[in-house]
Structure 1
Amino acid sequence: MYLRNIHTFAAVLLTSVPRVIASQPCTQFSPSPVPIPQLPNYFPPNNGLGATTLLDVEAISQTLTLYPYIIDGRAFPFLSSIFTTDAVANYSAPLGVLNGLSTIAATLEQALASFPGTKHLLGPQNVRICDSKKAISVAYYRAVHFLRQNGTVGPGDILGGDSVLYAYGQYQDT
């Protein structure tokens, strides 16, 4: 009963928003990142989403939410629960484009090993179901990389003694 009420509320809310943005096809969303000013074109207001679509969007949103838990918990084998074996991840510099789940996991594990801890925070997320086999999403993030912990020597000594390094960006997924 509770879920039905949420879906009804969400469907009413979404159908009451006028469609004012021309939609871009999902096929143009990757492989290169979409510039931020163009993102609204890929995520227009949805009119009349059905319960199945809302459940699909929520499942994708939950999958996106797992990523920070896996990274911050250093549980790299669990990346298989969010990436396909043939995934391609573009992390930009310094990691670049990584091909395949095993490469992604190994590279992230190695790159983050020099940090005593990290904290990845997701901001706004948007998911669009393109068809029965494809969806796109975008989520803003802020990542905190701790450079020292309890007085231990670490990358902070190289970077001028700062205790944290901040990264801001967005995850765009297909």
Structure 2
Amino acid sequence: MNKNILGLDKQETANLVLELNGLLSNFQIYYQNLRGLHWNIKGKNFFELHVKFEEFYTDSQVKIDDIAERILTLQGKPLHTFSDYLKNASVPIGKDISNDVEGVELVVSSLSELLKIERIILGISDDANDEGTNSMMSDFIAEQEKTIWMLNSWLGK
């Protein structure tokens, strides 16, 4: 078999790198949405959501770095331009959102999209016996599912 330095199949790893770069792109758009929400939120829930959106974007920064470093660990090259991110992202782009409900709904829909991508990567990493990527995706999924539940509770759903 054609294995890389980590003992993983090179073709399966190349496919994982491609998918992880897609996830990286989506997280970058999600991160920027969160910055915009943090800056622009208005209304009676300002203090609560201003802090919450900062918590989310800080967490996203860590995940972005983790994804990029995983790509490098797999001997790939992480995407790093905004044009690449926009071309490869499927999360919704939030522009000029200042309404609390609209902002939280954007976060929920973004996390739902990220979950779809992460589950695809989870399946691929499982098939490739890539425990490092598999573990990272499992952790992301569990955390984001809980966040969606909490945000939906905030929305009264």
- Using structure 1 for the length normalisation, give the TM-score: 0.29
Which structure has greater strand proportion?
Answer: 1
Larger Cα-atom Rg: 1
Which structure has greater helix proportion?
Answer: 2
Higher relative contact order (CA 8 A, sep 6+): 2
- Using structure 2 for the length normalisation, give the TM-score: 0.31
